[in-house]
């Protein structure tokens, strides 16, 4: 059994149908669900009991509890747990709320199941991942003076790709990727790839930079 196959998860969603759907997706991503619930308090209790590797929570809960607040509390109690937030909305404010809670992954309920599986797998790597529903292709950064290649790299970073993956996709060395990232951070006024990816999600542009 591989390390991935041993990973466990707790799911919080106030709709039982989504609990079942998310459990199926997690199983496809080689994550075993050891608890699922419709209430925030029970979800935290399950995390305390099971010490699961992954916590998946809806952003909006009908009990008027905040999924983002629940994730923050989960991370306070268990700093090593990885968090995924799912939502029926993928507007910038929802993405911002989710990622500000400390979640490593934001998943729109309109996303393709295959993208969700990729997002769940990506959570165990040192980057963020946002899976949303279908929308027109767009490259961020036009307003920030990024070159075409920098804008392309920024978009791929926002999708969770590592430097090694970027190098293979773009047919360049990892050192070249790091050089472009350094320029991107400087132009955006950010300190790291997580902040750069966050910027890309909140400031998309419909056209490439010159």
Among 30-39, 111-120, 123-132, 171-180, whose mean pLDDT is lowest? 123-132
Contact assessment for residue 132 and residue 110, using Cβ atoms and an 8 Å cutoff: yes
- The candidate with the shortest Cα–Cα distance to 61, out of 24, 86, 81, is 86
Contact assessment for residue 139 and residue 156, using Cβ atoms and an 8 Å cutoff: no
Predicted local confidence at residue 138, as pLDDT:
47
9 occurs within a structural domain: yes
Tally of structural domains, the chain: 2
Tokens 């619930």 -> residue: 37
Q: Say how many residues make up the chain.
A: 210
Taking the whole predicted model, whether its pTM rises above 0.85 is answered as no
The answer on pLDDT for 45 being more than 60 is yes
Q: Do 150 and 127 belong together in one domain?
A: no
Structural domain of residue 98, as residue ranges?
Answer: 4-131
Among 32-46, 119-133, 190-204, whose mean pLDDT is lowest? 119-133
**Backbone phi, then psi, for 173, in 5-degree steps?**
-85, 160
Q: Do 197 and 117 belong together in one domain?
A: no
Contact assessment for residue 103 and residue 83, using Cβ atoms and an 8 Å cutoff: yes
Among 15-19, 124-128, 143-147, whose mean pLDDT is lowest? 124-128
Q: Mean pLDDT, to the nearest integer, of 177-187? A: 86
Mean confidence (pLDDT) of the chain: 81
CB atoms within 10 A of CB 139: 21
Q: Do 106 and 9 belong together in one domain?
A: yes
CATH of the domain at 82: 3.40.50.2300
122 occurs within a structural domain: yes
Q: Do 87 and 109 belong together in one domain?
A: yes
**Percent of the chain's residues with pLDDT above 70:** 84
The answer on pLDDT for 202 being more than 80 is no
Predicted local confidence at residue 149, as pLDDT:
83
Q: Mean pLDDT, to the nearest integer, of 19-35? A: 93
């Amino acid at each position: 059994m591989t390390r991935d196959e041993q990973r466990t998860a707790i799911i919080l969603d106030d709709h039982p149908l989504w609990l079942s759907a998310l459990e199926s997706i997690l199983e496809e991503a080689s994550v075993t669900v050891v608890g699922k619930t419709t209430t925030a308090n029970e979800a935290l209790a399950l995390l305390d009991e099971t010490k699961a590797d992954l916590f998946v929570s809806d952003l909006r809960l009908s009990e008027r509890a905040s999924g983002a607040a629940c994730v923050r509390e989960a991370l306070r109690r268990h700093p090593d747990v990885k968090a995924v937030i799912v939502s029926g909305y993928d507007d910038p404010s929802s993405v911002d709320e989710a990622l500000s809670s400390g979640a490593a992954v934001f998943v729109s309920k309109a996303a393709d199941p295959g993208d969700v599986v990729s997002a769940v797998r990506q959570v165990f790597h040192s980057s963020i991942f946002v899976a949303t529903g279908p929308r027109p292709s767009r490259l961020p950064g036009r307003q920030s003076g990024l070159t075409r290649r920098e804008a392309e790299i920024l978009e791929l970073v926002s999708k969770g790709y590592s430097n090694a993956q970027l190098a293979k996709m773009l047919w360049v060395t990892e050192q070249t990727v790091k050089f472009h990232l350094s320029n991107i951070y400087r132009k955006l006024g950010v300190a790291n790839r997580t902040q750069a990816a966050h910027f890309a999600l909140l400031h998309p542009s419909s056209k490439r930079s010159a």
